[in-house]
Structure 1
Amino acid sequence: MHGENALKQNIILLACAQALGASSGPIIISLGGLVGQKLSSDPTLVTLPVSVYNLGLALGTLPAAYVMRRFGRRSGYLLGATVGLSAGLIATIGIYWASFLVFCAGTFASGFYSSYVQSYRFAATDGIEGPMKGIAISAVMVGGLAAAIIGPQLVIWTRESVPGVPFAGSFLSQAALALLAIPVLFLLRKPPPAKREGATASGGRPLREILLSPRYLLAVAAGLVSYGLMTFLMTAAPIAMVGMGHSVDHAALGIQWHVLAMFAPSFLTGPLMVRFGKERITAIGLAIIGCSAMVALAGVDIGHFWISLILLGLGWNFGFLGATAMVTDCHTPEERTKVQGTNDFIVFGTVAIASFSSGALLSSSGWASLNWFVLPIVALILVPLVWHTKEKTSRA
Structure 2
Amino acid sequence: MTILLPSVRRSTVFLFGGVAAMNTAMVGASTAATLIVSADAGPAWSGLPNAFVITGTALGTLGAGAVMARRGSRPVLLAMYAAAVAGGLIAFGAAAGALLAPLLTGMVLLGLGNGVAQMSRYLAAELYPAHRKGFALSVIVWAGTVGAIAGPVLIAPGARIAGLLGVRELAGPALVSAAIAGLALAASAGLPRVPPPPARPRLSLPMVATALRRPEVLTPLVAMVGAQVSMVAVMTMTPLQLDHHGQGLDVIGLILSAHMIGMFALAPLSGRIADLWGGRVAIYLGIGTLAVAATTAVAAPTAHTSGLPAALFLLGYGWNLVFVGGSSLLSRDLPADERTQLQGGVDAVVWLSSAVASLAAGVLYGLGGFALVAVVGGALALAPIALVGRRR
TM-score where L is the length of structure 2:
0.86
What is aligned with 2:217?
216
Q: 2:333 aligns to what SS in structure 1?
A: coil
For 2:387 and 2:178, the matched residues in 1 are separated by: 42
SS for the counterpart of 2:187 is: helix
| 8 Å contact from structure 1 (residues 204, 334) kept in 2 | no
Give me the whole-angstrom Cα distance separating, in 1, the residues matched to 2:176 and 2:280. 38
**Could you tell me whether the CA contact under 8 Å between 1:47 and 1:235 is conserved in 2?**
no
For residues 326 and 191 of structure 1, the distance between their equivalents in structure 2, rounded to whole angstroms, comes to 26
How far did residue 166 of structure 1 move? Answer: 4.2
Partner of 1:136: 136
Deviation at 1:301, TM superposition (A): 4.5
For these two proteins, the number of residue pairs brought into alignment is 383
C-alpha deviation, 1:379, in angstroms:
1.8
Q: What is the match of residue 302 of structure 2?
A: 300
Sort the Cα spacing of 1:106 and 1:33 in 2 relative to 1 into closer, same or farther, 3 A: same
Shift in alpha-carbon separation, 1:76–1:322, aligned structure 2, 3 A: same
Q: Deviations over 1:175-227 (max 9, x none)?
A: 11101112211111257999xxxxx9754996466433223211111111222
**Alpha-carbon separation, structure 2, partners of 1:295 and 1:130:** 36
Q: Paired residue for 1:346?
A: 349
Counterpart-to-counterpart distance in 2, 1:239 and 1:144: 24
Partner residue in 2 for 1:181: 184
Structure 1 CA distance, aligned partners of 2:285 and 2:12?
26
SS of the residue corresponding to residue 125 of structure 2 reads coil
Question: Amino acid of the residue matched to residue 187 of structure 1?
Answer: G
Show the counterpart of 1:280.
281
Instruction: Give the structure 2 partner of residue 372 of structure 1.
Output: 375
Residues 305-362 of structure 1, C-alpha deviation per residue, up to 9 Å, x if partnerless?
Answer: 4333222211111110111111122312221221112111221121222233344554
User: What's the counterpart of residue 235 of structure 2?
Assistant: 234
Deviation at 1:111, TM superposition (A): 1.4
| Deviation for aligned residue 1:157 | 4.6
Aligned partners of 1:32 and 1:368: how far apart in 2?
Answer: 29
Corresponding position of 2:117: 117
Q: Any gaps of 5 or more consecutive residues in structure 1?
A: 195-199
Worse-matched range after superposition: 297-306 or 147-156: 297-306
Aligned residue for 2:77, secondary structure, equals helix
- After superposition, the Cα gap between the structure-2 partners of 1:138 and 1:129, relative to the gap in structure 1 and judged at 3 Å, is same
Q: How far 1:32 moved relative to its partner?
A: 5.0
Report the AA paired with residue 84 of structure 1.
A
For the aligned residues, what is the CA RMSD?
Answer: 3.1
Contact 1:24 1:151 (8 Å CA) reproduced: yes
Are 1:211 and 1:217, in contact at CA under 8 Å, matched by a contact in 2? yes
Identify if the C-alpha distance between structure 1 residues 363 and 318 changes in structure 2 by more than 3 Å, giving closer, same or farther: same
Q: Is the 8 A contact 2:29 2:173 kept in 1?
A: no
Name the residue aligned to 2:360: 357
How big is the shift at 1:19?
0.9
Change (3 A) 1:249 1:47: farther
What residue number does 1:197 align with?
A: none
Tell me, which stretches of 5 or more residues in structure 2 are unaligned? none
Does the 8 Å CA contact 2:69/2:200 hold for their aligned counterparts? Answer: no
Deviations 1:13-36 (A, max 9, x none): 111111111223433555554444
Query: Structure 1 counterpart of 2:93, which letter?
Result: I
Partner of 1:7: 8
Q: Is the 8 A contact 1:160 1:167 kept in 2?
A: no
Residue 270 (structure 1) aligns with = 271
Which residue in the other structure is 1:150 paired with? 150
Q: Cα 1:158–1:248, aligned 2, differ >3 Å: closer, same or farther?
A: farther
Letter in 2 for 1:7: V
- Residues 244 and 161 of structure 1: is their aligned pair in 2 closer, same or farther, counting only changes over 3 Å? farther
Q: Which residue of 2 aligns with 1:330?
A: 333
Question: C-alpha separation between the residues in 2 aligned to 1:193 and 1:75?
Answer: 10
Which residue does the alignment assign to 1:72? 72
Taking the aligned partners of 2:31 and 2:238, their CA distance within structure 1 comes to: 9
